[in-house]
Amino acid sequence: MAAVSGAATGCGSAPASATDSEAAKAASAKDFGGMDKLIAAAKKEGQLNVYALAPDWANYGEMIEAFEKKYGIKVNNEDPSGSSQGALNAAAKRKGQDRAVDALDLGTAYMQEAKKKGLLAPYKVAEWESIPDSQKQPDGSYMNNYGGYISIGCDAKVIKKCPETFKDLLKPEYRNKVALNGNPTESGSAFSTVFATALANGGSFDDVQPGLDFFKELKQRGNYLPVESSKATIQKGETPISIDWDYLNLGYSEQLKGVDWQVTVPSDGVYAQYYNQGVNKYAPHPAAARLWLEFIYSTEGQNIWLKGYSRPALLDDMVQDGTADKAAAAKIPEVEGEPTFPTQEQEAAAKEVIGKGWGKAVS
């Protein structure tokens, strides 16, 4: 994956004009004098620092390339294979530095922590009113952007019969074959997997312990594979079964060569979640950070997510007004029932339980 550019790795402090600038105080493009003025200011900054945006994650590669081409702004993407926790740490530790992260893409529990730490600058994009109320913070501190369901990916060339439920994963034929995309104490996708397995085993948004108990049993049966799955490990045959977001697994099924990657959203633990966007209060490129959010919430940006098999936050509105990419929308798997989401309090409580219990569960 691409390395961080030199501009993103400088060690100096951000100019005082960055965090004290008019752009840094703008809570919307209108506040700043309009979109044209925001674009001009962002182009003058010329750089955008982001963290842990994997090019093969929900079509982030195309998103970054399209933004760079449209505005002539260099995107410095540090540690593309990193985690939500890594991005949060980078934002918290680099206040005032010119290599600080400008815009954050985090799982909900991690974005809540960013807000608690005072790292977020409220900003409402032009499409703010179209984002469902349940998917945005009233103060504009952060908002849902794209999401999907926890799914099971499986190489049908290696696995005789692919699992279709979480319960199936406990079967003897899956010994040493079941992996996760990351560590639940650091990764939003792995964290959500524990939520999904909790729901599949009698738990609830208020009780994720059954999810930890499930992985303890998976470990005891020898089925849990302590290798963090990725496109590369799947391609090499190191992780023949991977629990991950459906948009990632579906993307792999299209990208991998010589692998018959089958994807199932398990019916016994249906769990959906969105990733969130926010602007770092200490962004060294505050105008570029705000323009980045405007771009990914634009029709162009939302359709780029859709092409990556994820569900953009504005999808319902775009379907209704005819701006959604119909071919891409048709590839999104249908899931029965309306998804429900844990509250902020439930997410925070689960984060604490998983943080304390994950190591014991799989040790």
Q: What pTM was computed for the model?
A: 0.83
Q: What SS3 state is found at 302?
A: helix
Q: What stretch of H or E contains 74?
A: strand 74-78
Cα torsion 285, 95, 49, 14 to 10°: value is 50
User: Residue 42 has what pLDDT?
Assistant: 98
| pLDDT on residue 6 | 28
Strand partners, 264: 152
The per-residue pLDDT for 17 is: 57
| Tokens, residue 60 | 């982030």
- Residue 188's pLDDT is 84
Per-residue pLDDT of the chain (363 residues; tens, 9 = 90+): 222 222 333 334 445 557 778 999 999 999 999 999 999 999 999 999 999 999 988 999 999 999 999 999 999 999 998 888 899 999 999 988 999 999 999 988 889 999 999 999 999 999 999 998 989 999 999 999 999 999 999 999 999 999 999 999 999 999 999 999 999 998 888 999 999 999 999 999 999 999 999 999 999 999 999 999 999 999 999 999 999 999 999 999 988 999 999 999 999 999 999 999 999 999 999 999 999 999 999 999 999 999 999 999 999 999 999 999 999 999 988 888 777 888 888 988 999 999 999 999 999
Q: Are strands 143-155 and 241-245 parallel, antiparallel or unpaired?
A: antiparallel
55: left (phi over 0), alpha (psi -120 to 50) or beta: alpha
Q: Per residue in 251-288, is it b (16+ CB within 10 Å) or e — as a string?
A: bbbeeeeebebbbbbbeebbbbbbbbbbbbbbbbbbbb
Q: What is the DSSP string of 91-145?
A: HHH-TTBTTS-SEEEE-HHHHHHHHHTT-EE----TTGGGS-GGGB-TTSS-EEE
Q: How far is Cα 231 from Cα 105, in angstroms, rounded to an integer?
A: 20
How is residue 40 written in tokens?
């001009």
Q: What is the DSSP letter of 314?
A: T
pLDDT tens-place string over residues 6-24: 233 333 444 555 777 899 9
Nearest to 125 by CA among 112, 147, 108, 141: 141
What is the pLDDT, as a whole number, of residue 186? 87
For residues 236 and 101, give the distance between their C-alpha atoms in angstroms, rounded to a whole number: 32
Residue 144 forms beta bridges with which residues?
A: 276
User: Which pLDDT score, from 0 to 100, does residue 2 have?
Assistant: 29
Q: Distance between CA 323 and CA 305 in Å, rounded?
A: 13
Position 8 scores a pLDDT of: 31
* pLDDT of 1: 29
How many secondary structure helices (H) and strands (E) does the chain include? 15, 10
β-strand partners of 105: 277
What's 153's DSSP letter?
A: E
Q: Are strands 143-155 and 272-280 parallel, antiparallel or unpaired?
A: antiparallel
Beta carbons within 8 Å of 35's beta carbon, 6+ residues apart: 29, 126, 294
